[in-house]
């Protein structure tokens, strides 16, 4: 097993007890929650007359079901209104910090970092699979189910089996400079394609190397966000000066003792002589703008390549799954990816709804017009405000795109932005699963610049010609 890694250090520090069945009690420093997985958990606590153990370490937000166009209450969708009202009632009774509309609302994995709630060396959990996003800060964050949400509310710990839940550590070394027009989203799609969606099974991914060292926090969050799509339950980056500068001055970050906190945070990073269970090196300079062609995140190619779908060129990807994807996506093996026509474009989500993502899309869209329905959804109210201060909203509107309020939106079919009928979308979200954006929708994952260029051309397009202007 690995030794001296950040993962090992954080694990050992947060084991606070042992249970008779051999499991350990694992302390969770931050419990993040939203309206989807929390209602049942609160109801079970009420039935058992149990109070929330640490409301001061619990934070809630509204993101999955909130409309991004009209947010007047009550919401037209009765189910969304019920889920919202239930969340608001629960957090009020428990005295939990809540980021609702007009109070810093947005997508959970965008808001909590920008508020300074996520610190290096922490453990955290959320009833959401993309909780690994927060590992970008040098922390260990877990996606959990409703039963674990209940247990966490009641005890501020999780019962974990060291034999099953303690992960091995795979270090992925990213070396080299990204080409112009290539983003963190392209790099992580390339990585998942090379390692497959099963490559991280049983592992925590440690992302390192010169490429990651030179990334912004927002780029690192994009990488960790999709680590879960590569099969890793945990994905993290060792904290450094980039991490500390990002946290300085944020609302929930340490104030008077910030320097002392930094000294402690530096010690969390993996030792130089740390031992890993597995190591992989990725040549970042070889990566081009990527797009998924199938229904799995590892079914991806560069935008100037062809749809494989056959055994040749698939690498480790299951050829039977590839053929099934090809059939569902209505693709022909060997056709050019940039011949795939789209009729919807989506820029947003917890993967690519941050300010830098919107700036990338705006660079492409400025002075151009979209040919298809295009939604641009900021990841938070703060991102929306900052984007409007920069005039990005005007660029999107002039291009013919819709500028919306923050929310999960079209990333998944849980809000009014759900697509109906047959649609082919270019999307900055994280999963191209069947029915993810609507029952008959076909989804192609791309970077913000890639989606913007595709919206202009009405087909999968390379963003680099549009970015050459800059």
In this predicted model, what pLDDT tens digit does every residue of 129-186 receive, in sequence order? Answer: 999 999 999 999 999 999 999 999 999 999 999 999 999 999 999 999 999 999 999 9
Q: Which of 165, 159, 148, 158 lies closest to 202 in space, CA to CA?
A: 165
Fold match between domain 6-164 and domain 304-467: yes
Provide the pLDDT for residue 470. Answer: 64
* Of 88-102, 118-132, 311-325, minimum mean pLDDT range: 311-325
Mean pLDDT on 30-40: 95
Provide the pLDDT for residue 242. Answer: 98
Kindly give the pairing relationship between strand 24-27 and strand 157-160: antiparallel
Question: Under DSSP, is residue 58 helix (H, G, I), strand (E, B) or coil?
Answer: strand
In this predicted model, what pLDDT tens digit does every residue of 227-271 receive, in sequence order? Answer: 999 999 999 999 999 999 999 999 999 998 999 999 999 999 999
Mean pLDDT on 374-393: 98
**pLDDT at 1 > cutoff 80:** no
Provide the pLDDT for residue 312. Answer: 61
More confident residue, 182 or 318: 182
| Confidence category of residue 345, pLDDT binned at 50, 70, 90 | very high
The mean pLDDT value of the chain amounts to 96
Instruction: Report which secondary-structure segment, H or E, holds 444.
Output: strand 441-445
Provide the pLDDT for residue 309. Answer: 73
Write down the CATH number for the domain with range 6-164.
Answer: 3.30.499.10
Burial category of 434 from C-beta neighbours within 10 Å (exposed 0-12, middle 13-18, buried 19 and up): middle
**pLDDT at 203 > cutoff 90:** yes
> What are the angstrom distances between the C-alpha of 70 and each of 10, 75, 243, 412, 417?
43, 8, 36, 18, 11
In this predicted model, what pLDDT tens digit does every residue of 405-462 receive, in sequence order? Answer: 999 999 999 999 999 999 999 999 999 999 999 999 999 999 999 999 999 999 999 9
d(CA 428, CA 345): 9
Question: Under DSSP, is residue 11 helix (H, G, I), strand (E, B) or coil?
Answer: helix
Sequence spans of domains, the chain: 6-164, 166-286, 304-467
pTM: 0.97
Q: Which of 121, 124, 126, 116 lies closest to 138 in space, CA to CA?
A: 121
CATH 3.40.1060.10 fits 166-286, yes or no: yes
CATH topology of domain 304-467: Aconitase; domain 3 (3.30.499)
**pLDDT at 10 > cutoff 70:** yes
Query: Residue 381: CB partners within 8 Å, gap ≥ 6?
Result: 102, 104, 105, 106, 405, 406
| Confidence category of residue 317, pLDDT binned at 50, 70, 90 | confident
Provide the pLDDT for residue 318. Answer: 79
């Amino acid at each position: 097993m690995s030794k001296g890694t950040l993962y090992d250090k954080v694990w050992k520090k947060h084991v606070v007890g042992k249970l008779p069945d051999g499991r350990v009690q694992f302390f969770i420093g931050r419990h993040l929650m939203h309206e989807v997985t929390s209602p049942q958990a609160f109801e079970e606590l009420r039935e058992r007359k149990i109070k929330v153990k640490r409301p001061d370490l619990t934070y809630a937000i509204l993101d999955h079901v909130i409309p991004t166009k009209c947010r007047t209450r009550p919401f037209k969708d009765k189910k969304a209104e019920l889920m919202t009202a239930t969340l608001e009632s629960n957090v009020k009774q428990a005295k939990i910090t809540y980021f609702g509309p007009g109070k810093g609302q947005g997508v959970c994995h965008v808001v909590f970092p920008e508020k300074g709630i996520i610190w290096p060396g922490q453990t955290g959990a959320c009833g959401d699979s993309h909780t690994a996003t927060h590992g970008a800060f040098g922390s260990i964050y877990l996606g959990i189910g409703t039963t674990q949400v209940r247990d966490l509310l009641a005890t501020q710990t999780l019962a974990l089996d060291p034999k099953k839940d303690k992960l091995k550590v795979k270090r992925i070394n990213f070396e080299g400079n990204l080409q112009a027009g290539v983003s963190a989203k392209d790099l992580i799609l390339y990585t998942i394609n090379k390692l497959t969606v099963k490559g991280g099974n049983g592992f925590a991914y440690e992302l390192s190397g010169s490429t990651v060292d030179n990334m912004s926090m927002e780029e690192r969050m994009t990488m960790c966000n999709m680590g879960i799509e590569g099969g890793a339950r945990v994905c993290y980056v060792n904290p450094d000066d980039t991490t500390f500068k990002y946290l300085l001055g944020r609302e929930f970050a340490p104030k008077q003792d910030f320097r002392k906190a930094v000294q402690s945070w530096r010690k969390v990073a993996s030792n130089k002589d740390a031992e890993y269970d597995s190591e992989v090196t990725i040549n970042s300079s070889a990566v081009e703008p990527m797009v998924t062609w199938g229904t799995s995140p590892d079914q991806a190619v560069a935008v100037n390549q062809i749809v494989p779908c056959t055994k040749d060129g698939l690498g480790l990807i299951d050829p039977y799954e590839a053929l099934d994807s090809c059939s569902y996506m209505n693709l022909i093996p060997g056709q050019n990816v940039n011949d795939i026509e789209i009729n919807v474009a989506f820029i947003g989500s917890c993967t690519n709804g941050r300010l830098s993502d919107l700036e990338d899309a705006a660079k492409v869209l400025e002075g151009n017009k979209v040919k298809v329905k295009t939604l641009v959804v900021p990841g938070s109210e703060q991102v929306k405000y900052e984007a409007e201060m920069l005039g990005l909203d005007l660029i999107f509107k002039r291009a013919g795109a819709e500028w919306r309020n923050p929310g999960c939106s079209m990333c998944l079919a849980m809000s009014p932005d759900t697509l109906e009928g047959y649609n082919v979308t270019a999307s900055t979200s994280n999963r191209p699963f069947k029915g993810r954006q609507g029952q008959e929708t076909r989804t192609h994952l791309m970077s913000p610049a890639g989606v913007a260029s595709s919206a202009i051309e009405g087909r999968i397009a390379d963003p680099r010609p549009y970015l050459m202007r800059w």
